[in-house]
Amino acid sequence: MVKQDRALLQTKPLSVYTLYDAYAGMLLGYIFEVVKDKKLAEEYLVRTFSNVAKQFNKINWDETNNWCLLQRFAKSELSTFNDTSKNPLAAVIKKPKAEPPNKYLDQMTDEQRFIFCNIYYSSKTTAQLAKEIGKSEGLIKQLLKEAFAVIRKSNGN
């Protein structure tokens, strides 16, 4: 089934336009969760896709999941925003949310959610996070794994 899905995803010819059609909404939703401002999120989306278009031919799109690659582009654009020293808003975002915005985060424990959100939205590395909260990298990865298990469970898989 997994292989079938993969084959299906690979049948459509890829271009910036097909990527935009398939992922712009998802990317805008993701960026909005980070910046919490619709206009700013749109600006970041424009910058992200512009950079994707510029690098399009240099990337081996067949080897990587398109969504993950696009998200890395977005994270790269958001890196300045996520840098606390440059943007005071980032400090607020880095804190775990009082009211998680979706069904996946709702079902995670505080610890799992903290780790997941800090990596997913604030683009921290596991090593960085381990150092920041004084826990081992192994534990961070384990909590991340548990967070993914919760996500999968939320979908009934």
User: Binder to another protein among 10, 18, 80, 136 (CB under 8 A)?
Assistant: 18
Name the one range near another protein by CB under 8 A: 63-71, 87-95, 106-114: 63-71
Among 30, 44, 81, 114, binds another protein (CB under 8 A): 30
Measured distance CA(69)–CA(40) in Å, rounded:
21
In the set 4, 7, 8, 63, which binds another protein (CB under 8 A)? Answer: 63
- Per CB under 8 A, the segment of 83-91, 92-100, 106-114, 115-123 that binds another protein is 115-123
1, 62, 88, 113, 118 from 123: Cα distances, Å: 31, 24, 16, 14, 7
> Of 34, 35, 44, 75, which lies in the binding site for another protein, with binding defined by CB under 8 A?
75
Locate tokens 């004084």: which residue? 134
Chain residues 117-156 in contact with another protein, contact rule CB under 8 A = 119-120, 123-127, 129, 138, 140-145, 147-148, 151-152, 155
What are 38-47's contacts with CB under 8 Å, separation 24+?
Answer: 44/74, 44/77, 44/78, 44/81, 45/74, 47/77
Number of residues that bind another protein (CB under 8 A): 72
